Structures are given as C-alpha cells and as structure tokens.
Amino acid sequence: MRAAAFTDLIGPDGVSVIDRERLHPSPGEAVVDVAACAINRHDLWILEGDSAMVDTDDLPFVTGLDVAGTVRDVGEGVSSVEPGDRVVLCPNKTCGSCRFCREGPENLCENFSLYHGGLAEVACVAADRLLALPDDVSMTTAAAIPTAYMTAFRMLRRADVGPGDLVFVPGATGGVGVATVQLAAVLGASTIGTSSSAAKLECVQELGLEHGIHSTDIDDIREAVSEIGAPDAVINHLGGEYTALGQQVMRRGGTMVICGRTAGSDSTIDVPDLFLEHKRIVGSTMGTQDDLRRLVGLVAAGDLEPAISETYPLEATGEAFAAMAARERVGKFVVKP
C-alpha cells in the first residue's frame, strides 16, 4: 500500500510517496481504508524539523491524525466496528490507567500521545477510537473535524463560552481559528478575529465571524478590539506576543485558553493585571472522544459545516503542506488517498 511519507525534514519538498507492507490488525485494532485525512500545523512542524517528536532517525515518517474511511478488517476481540463500517478516528492515544483516564477528561492522560499514520491508503488504528459516521457526513468533511474542531470545542468549553459572549480569536483563518469562529456561533457567542489577509477575513466572515481585524500589528489590533468591546474569552493558538495582547484586551474576570505557539513559544504575562483583574489563563490540548462524538452529531444535524480549503490526491500531499505554509487559503487541507 502507498503512503505519503516525510523522507526529509525540509518542508513540503520532503514528502514522497512510498510503498509499505500490507497492514494486519493486532488484537484490538482495525485496518481502515483511508478515504480522507486532514493535515494540521502539527504535521507541518514535524515536516519542517521543528518538532521534538520526530528527528531524522525516525524517517521515513508517516503522519496524519484525522482519518476518515471504511473498516476493511478487524483484529481479535474487536466488536465495536466491523468491515464495511464508515468511521472517523479520534486520534487520542491514552494509557487507560492513570487518574485522568479513570476520572476524566481523557485528554489530560499523563501518557497522552497522538495517532500518526493516516496519510496512506490504509491505516491500522485502535478500534475503540473509531466512531461511526452517519451516511450524510462525507468522508472529506469527517476528516476535517477531529484535531481542529475537538481542540477549539474543548477550549471554548474551558472558557465557559455561552450565549451573548464575545470571543477574541487571533489568527481566525486557519484550522483551529475557523473552528473556533464556527463553534462560538453554535454556542451563541460572537467573535472578533484577525488575519494578515483581507480576502481570507472576508471568507471567515461568510462563515460567521462578526468582527474582522485586518492587521498583524499588535498595537493596531489592541486598539481595534477595544473599540469593539472587552472579550469574555480569548482563544489563543498563536502564543508569542498574542498572549500579552489577549490578556490586555480581555474583560475583568475573563479567560484566555492557549493551545499553540505558532507566533512564538515565549510570552509575557502581566502578573498584577492577572490577579487584580481576576483573569484566568489556561492551557489546553486536543479534546475527548466524547467531544468528537458531539461534533460529528452537530455536523450530521446540519448545525456545523467544517470549512474545507481544498482536497489533494495522495501524491500531491506535499502541495497540501505548501498551501498551508503559504497562508493563502481558509479552512482545512484534506488529502484523499
């Protein structure tokens, strides 16, 4: 079977299609014919050699977390799915025995890691991580859901976002950014988002963004946000200088949730402002399998339509990463092996 592998950690040119041995499921596993697999910034970090998780000794490396497809074969002891089932994968890998696996939420598992391997014709996964996909949810749409939408959903819930709230999303045009805008709308909240591109902001406004700020200048953005209002929540996947900005603009008692570091791994926090204004800054990673179940339900009910930028055949996987790196498009990039 063919897979799009990272054979060099040099960016999009480091992706090649390779042949791999046929996969057979071990007990508890299922083999899935991959119909669609979305890519994430997480994969691009790896491809650019900017992830502690993969180095040149691990090559060729097949990434791909967000798998949708059809079960081809199941291993011993698997009863939750059977060949022919349409499924989407929750990419969480947890130990099942730590206090967070016992008491929840599972995404806090002390041994948390992620499934990689979906950028291939066939993927071998833990069967109990597969969710049934309703017939009216396409494979491409399903693949767009897991990482971006689970992460955004969990962040919004950690900030207790509800009807009438104002949510600030710096970088509103990518996977997590668009997911936040769309899910905030589902929760009855309104959003302020930023982008370096006016055209991309317009697209996100069509997807539900109320206030678009076309700027990358922190002072300009601060002023523009303050003219709109003091956000109840900041959903921050950029890190860097956007953390201080988020703290400055959010309301007294507001919450900023951070899940990423696209704009930098170091941020400053104004400590007196934090305690005197009763603000909360919390970290968050991924979501739970039950979050994914709810999200699939929202999509099936027509309440959420994940934004897809473009689909690519397996041999054009490098182009999908180049498009993500170029920052010219809105929505998820989905590879269709």
Q: Which two tokens mark 169?
A: 């999303």
We find the least distance from the C-beta atom of residue 40 to ligand NAP, in angstroms, to be 4
- Integer Cα distance of 286 and 231 in angstroms: 23
* 18 near Zn ion, rule: CB under 5 A: no
Cα atoms in the 13 Å half-sphere on the side-chain side of 258: 23
What does the DSSP assignment read for 241-268? HHHHHHHHHSPTT-EEEE---TTBS---
How many residues lie near ligand NAP (CB under 6 A)?
Answer: 28
One-letter amino acid identity for 132?
A
Q: Is 95 in the site for Zn ion (CB under 5 A)?
A: yes
Out of 94, 141, 243, 255, the residue judged to bind Zn ion by CB under 5 A: 94
Query: Residue 109 interacts with Zn ion (CB under 5 A)?
Result: yes
- CA dist 99 and 218 (Å) reads 40
Report, in Å, the least distance between residue 33 CB and ligand NAP: 25
User: Which candidate, 200, 219, 207, places its Cα nearest to that of 183?
Assistant: 207
Which residue bears the tokens 């949510």? 167
Burial of 334 (0-12, 13-18, 19+ CB in 10 A): buried
State which residue, 15 or 23, has the beta carbon closest to ligand NAP: 15
- Contact segment (CB under 6 A) with ligand NAP among 16-24, 128-136, 253-261, 303-311 equals 253-261
| CA–CA separation, 25 and 314 (whole Å) | 23
Query: Which is nearest to 239 in space by CA: 183, 176, 187?
Result: 176
40 near ligand NAP (CB under 6 A): yes
Query: Considering the rule CB under 5 A, would residue 126 count as an interface residue with Zn ion?
Result: no
Residue 109 touches which of Zn ion, ligand NAP, none (Cβ within 5-8 Å per kind): Zn ion
Q: From the list 18, 101, 300, 325, which residue makes contact with Zn ion (rule: CB under 5 A)?
A: 101
Q: State yes or no: residue 209 binds ligand NAP (CB under 6 A).
A: no
Asked if 200 interacts with ligand NAP (CB under 6 A), we say yes
Binding footprint of ligand NAP on the chain (CB under 6 A): 40-42, 147-148, 151, 171-177, 195-197, 200, 237-238, 259-263, 285-286, 324, 327
Binding footprint of Zn ion on the chain (CB under 5 A): 94-95, 98, 101, 109
